[in-house]
A = this chain, B = another copy of it.
Amino acid sequence: MRSICLPVDLELPDLDRLDAIVGTRRSVRRGDALYRADDAFQSLYAVRSGSFKTVVVHRDGGEQVTGLFLPGDPLGLDGVCHDAHACDAVALEDSSVCVIPFALFDAFCHDVKPMQRHFYRMMGSAIVRESNLLMVLGTMTAEQRVAAFLLNLSERFRTRGYSPTAFSLRMTREEMGSYLGIKLETVSRMFSKFQKDGLLETQGKSIHLLDLEGLARI
């Protein structure tokens, strides 16, 4: 878990100090928010178990899912900008996070160069992840979006040591659709199509990918 979350070589005294900073845990029930847009930014979080979505809420109530976070993913970086969070972070299932008070974390980064470097990487990763999503929303058909989404998940589960071909997805079709810029019915239709083509099997929330290469060719 730490290898995903903090792939940094730290010596013992530093490691203890970090453990003290990250000490607190917090549980969030399915559907509850870890933080909301305009909440004061005080802490970063690391997903320990479960999963989260981040959503931007438009003035006229329109919601856009902008991120999906799995165990090990850092959460809350959107708040670094203006001392307030820019989106809501909502648990997709009963979940828990590590709380990382930013003031302490920042001071720690100041003293420990590899940690500073890793923090930069986390911020950079968030930027690149969103760029990739822009690419998906800007250039792909509905079919390609769903395929790209599944392949991305597969890869992320793989790096976490879980099966890259069989996993359970706690998002609803509607949330996936929002994330991908399409409607829930379209998501459902694409799943049906892929199933018909022998690329995957679905049974409710659990998904079994049968042909990763086939999905990649779409």
Contacts and interface: CB of A to CB of B under 8 A. Distances in A.
A126 interface: yes
A79 interface: yes
A27 interface: no
Contacts of A78: 124, 127-128, 131
Interface in A72-112: 77-82, 86-87, 106, 110
Contacts of A130: 127, 130-131, 134
A116 interface: yes
A137 interface: yes
Contacts of A124: 77-82, 123
Interface residues of A, number: 39
A178 interface: yes
A20 interface: no
Contacts of A149: none
A121 B80 contact: yes
A108 B87 CA distance: 31
Among all A-B residue pairs, the 6 with the closest Cβ atoms: A81-B124, A80-B124, A137-B137, A130-B130, A138-B181, A123-B123
B86 A128 contact: yes
A195 interface: no
A125 interface: yes
Contacts of A196: none
A171 interface: no
A117 to B, nearest CB: 9
